[in-house]
Chains A and B, each alone.
Chain A
Amino acid sequence: MGQNISITKPLINSIDELFGFIDMNENKNLSFHHHLRNGDGVINYVLQHYITKGITGLNLYPSSIFPAYTSILTLLKNQQINNITTNYCNGSVATYISENGLPGTFTMQTHGGRARSIQEGLSKIDIAFIAAPYVNIYGDAIGYDGKNCFGSMGYAVVDSEYAKITVLVTDTIVDEPISNPEILGKNVDYILKVDSIGDNSGIVSGTTEITKNPIGVKIAKNTSRLLHELGLIKNGFSFQSGAGGVSLRVTKDVKEIMKEQHIKASFFSGGITKYHVDMLEEGLVDELFDVQCFDLEAAHSLKRNKNHHAISASTYANPTNPAQVIKDLDVVILGATEIDLNFNVNVTTDSHQTIIGGSGGHSDTASEAKVSVIVSPLIKGRLCVIKERVTTITTLGKNVDCLVTERGIAINPLRQDLIEKLKDSKLKICTIEELLEKAYHYTNKPKNMIKREQIIGEIEDRTHDIIDYLYQK
């Protein structure tokens, strides 16, 4: 029998010391993960060094960009960045790029597409800086322990495997072995010790509470009824719902149906919250496949529950990975900033063309799930969510099956099987055109304000196809 030999990794005590080993000018493709979301302290810590040194021609590959990542804005204003490839972008960096673009290319991928792109060598990472809350001296790391635990490290795994240089940045180093590490020591080159990797309370950014808004409640009720009538809530079904308030309300309503009818699900996947954990602990679902934790309750569950699995982005949604979890997904509930008459969905820009988000796993899960359901108020403020053509295509309409609103449900005509199942339904089933007319009755038809002159970025689907462009606002 062979014997695993663990080798201690070089322990670095400052960023200055690190760049005594790494040539900053030779390694300008930098990646980061976003698991700490708005509580991340590592991106700004590392990039401040690049600001100070005035390094130019940088190419960034953060899995997402949150408002707290202000160092990126400084680098942009200093003209130090050429290209950015990411899955989600929100805050001042997003606004700056919407108004100014980049010297090079701004590429928005999906979570699965990012993993695929790195694996296939299309995204070449020189240095992966990985915030890691619990690391041992051999370079093994997990995300669900340590003073700044944040749960799954799913987005960082592929970076650690394929980057030329992998640097774990941590505030907790132990001597003991770690069982089932998410990041393997064999893929790690350096361990950089810092006082703090951030504030893990920042992972709860955005809506992670069940909505009580009556419109949201109505949409959720319509959704759970729809899933029930389609026969999708049955023993062994699989489900993904994310952390939006309406999605979580759908989860709650589905849970009630499951309890009433003694139904047990096989797995929930994607971003995991305390509500999903509760259902695991109540025996309503066999397993959780967790690529990112949306609250600390989920992070703590990963440590204590053997049926709560941390998975990599590749295992989650890489279309070329045979073990891809979402290929077995029955139902996914997703949001929309806009949806158009061809069921294309936009979660990337607002209607004024400012970048406000990105696909994340939106296109991945819509592509793979047997039924993808978009939940949204038909009228948001004074505007209809349905457009004749979305401002930006994030997810192709051919992968979107249902739109559920407070005033009715539209089924994509490509899914005649679903339409047939619902022909005797008491739910308000209508065409998406009819829903648009209902909304226009209240809002009237808005003027088209979209400018499509200067391209500032591209939307790359998980297939590597460019499915739309971002335009300067």
Chain B
Amino acid sequence: MSRSYLFIPGNTPNMIQNLDVFESDAVIIDFEDSVMSYDKDAARILIKNFLQKFHEQVGNIYIRINDVENSNFESDVNDTKDLHIAGYVLPKASVEAVNTLYKICNGLDIIPIIESPLALLESQKIAASKGVVGLLFGAEDFTKEMGIERTLEAKELLYPRSHIAVVCKAYNIEAIDTPYTAKDDETGLEQDAIAAKQLGFTAKALIHPNQVDAINRIFAPSPEEILQAKRIIKKSEESQKGAFSLDGKMIDLPIIEKAKKVLEKAQKYGL
């Protein structure tokens, strides 16, 4: 359960050194698009050495490896699967690709990226695959494959976002929204994140550390939500009933479970 997944290029020592500084709940060290082909082995060496020495400093770390068709795929996994990482983010996901990764990744978590129309249609099966703990929406590649322009308003993303959010909820895994690429547009970032949360996303990926605060705030329960959840749990404990009334509204088991999740999140994030 993380609110923010911060991408950091795997070949940038000054950024890697500060993984724990940016306060992102999870970090995705990138071996794929942000690392040029000639630098991929250097990135693996850097990350291996760094995580062997500094693993206690950093918490929830994922590595975005190269896709299963790429010649670096196996090296990316074999060089890192024994490190202290939470798992892998898998680009160009398909059921077969997830299964291929699962066989060699020592049971680490897998977060497939849904970034093609076919993957979107397959997303239920991908979500149900072994090792998958969440789906990450990749809007840049998705819109490219669709032959449509990605806009800041993101109306063109409404359907794939809704679909992914529903699938993730159905399979009880994390729904991670695509990064907002206008890194200096704080207002746009907030609007985009709120829209994703409204659709059911539980987290958002980011491409710049300066976006972490806003994402953590938006995907955390608000003070009002926490207060209401506390009231629901208190009334539930006092009434000893499966359903009861609070402020004139009926409260039943799903609402009580939701309130518990809110308090669980609040506790986790120290709110």
Q: Does B149 contact A (CB under 8 A)?
A: no
Q: Does A19 contact B (CB under 8 A)?
A: no
Asked if A379 and B210 sit within 8 Å, CB to CB, the answer is no
Contact pick for A214, options B17, B184, B208, B270, CB 8 Å: B208
Q: Given known contacts A212-B184, A214-B208, is B21 in contact with A221 (CB within 8 Å)? A: no
Complex: how many Å from CA A442 to CA B19? 12
How many residues belonging to A are interface residues under a CB distance threshold of 8 Å?
Answer: 12
Contacting residues, chain A, for B21 (C-beta < 8 A): 214-215, 218, 406-407
Interface residues of B in 205-235 (CB under 8 A from A): 208-210, 213
Contacting residues, chain B, for A214 (C-beta < 8 A): 18, 21-22, 208-210
18 residue pairs of the A-B complex, CB under 8 angstroms, read A212-B184, A212-B210, A214-B18, A214-B21, A214-B22, A214-B209, A214-B210, A215-B18, A215-B21, A217-B209, A217-B210, A218-B21, A218-B23, A218-B209, A221-B213, A406-B21, A407-B21, A442-B54
The residue in chain A whose Cβ has the minimal distance to the Cβ of B21 is: A406
The residue in chain B whose Cβ has the minimal distance to the Cβ of A407 is: B21
A179 smallest CB distance to B (angstroms): 43
A338 smallest CB distance to B (angstroms): 20
Contact indicator per residue, chain B 5-20, by CB within 8 Å of chain A (1) or not (0): 0000000000001100
Contacting residues, chain B, for A406 (C-beta < 8 A): 18, 21
Contact pick for B17, options A217, A426, A442, CB 8 Å: A442
| SS of B interface (majority) | loop
The residue in chain B whose Cβ has the minimal distance to the Cβ of A215 is: B18
| B contacts, CB < 8 Å to A | 17-18, 21-23, 54, 184, 208-210, 213, 270
The 6 closest A-B pairs by CB, nearest first: A214-B209, A406-B21, A217-B210, A214-B210, A218-B21, A442-B17
B20 smallest CB distance to A (angstroms): 8
Contacting residues, chain A, for B209 (C-beta < 8 A): 214, 217-218
A136 smallest CB distance to B (angstroms): 46
B239 smallest CB distance to A (angstroms): 35
| A contacts, CB < 8 Å to B | 212, 214-215, 217-218, 221, 379, 406-407, 426, 441-442
Contacting residues, chain A, for B18 (C-beta < 8 A): 214-215, 406
Given contacts A218-B209, A379-B17, A426-B270, 14 further A-B contacts (CB under 8 A): A212-B184, A212-B210, A214-B21, A214-B209, A214-B210, A215-B18, A215-B21, A217-B209, A218-B21, A218-B22, A221-B213, A406-B18, A407-B21, A441-B54
B94 smallest CB distance to A (angstroms): 34
The residue in chain B whose Cβ has the minimal distance to the Cβ of A378 is: B21
Contacting residues, chain B, for A221 (C-beta < 8 A): 213
The residue in chain B whose Cβ has the minimal distance to the Cβ of A443 is: B17
Complex: how many Å from CA A407 to CA B21? 6
A434 smallest CB distance to B (angstroms): 14
The residue in chain B whose Cβ has the minimal distance to the Cβ of A212 is: B210
The residue in chain A whose Cβ has the minimal distance to the Cβ of B18 is: A215
A450 smallest CB distance to B (angstroms): 26
Complex: how many Å from CA A100 to CA B60? 53
Contacting residues, chain A, for B54 (C-beta < 8 A): 441-442
Complex: how many Å from CA A407 to CA B17? 12
B16 smallest CB distance to A (angstroms): 11
B250 smallest CB distance to A (angstroms): 37
The residue in chain B whose Cβ has the minimal distance to the Cβ of A379 is: B17
Interface centre among B17, B23, B54, B270 (most CB of A within 10 A): B17
The residue in chain A whose Cβ has the minimal distance to the Cβ of B6 is: A214
Complex: how many Å from CA A221 to CA B23? 12
A289 smallest CB distance to B (angstroms): 32
Complex: how many Å from CA A442 to CA B56? 13
A224 smallest CB distance to B (angstroms): 12
Complex: how many Å from CA A53 to CA B63? 69
The residue in chain A whose Cβ has the minimal distance to the Cβ of B57 is: A441
Interface centre among A212, A218, A407, A441 (most CB of B within 10 A): A218
Contacting residues, chain A, for B270 (C-beta < 8 A): 426
Complex: how many Å from CA A421 to CA B270? 21
Complex: how many Å from CA A215 to CA B18? 8
Complex: how many Å from CA A214 to CA B8? 12
Contacting residues, chain B, for A212 (C-beta < 8 A): 184, 210
The residue in chain B whose Cβ has the minimal distance to the Cβ of A442 is: B17
Contacting residues, chain A, for B17 (C-beta < 8 A): 379, 442
Complex: how many Å from CA A426 to CA B271? 11
Complex: how many Å from CA A406 to CA B14? 13
Interface centre among B22, B184, B270 (most CB of A within 10 A): B22
Complex: how many Å from CA A159 to CA B20? 51
B142 smallest CB distance to A (angstroms): 27
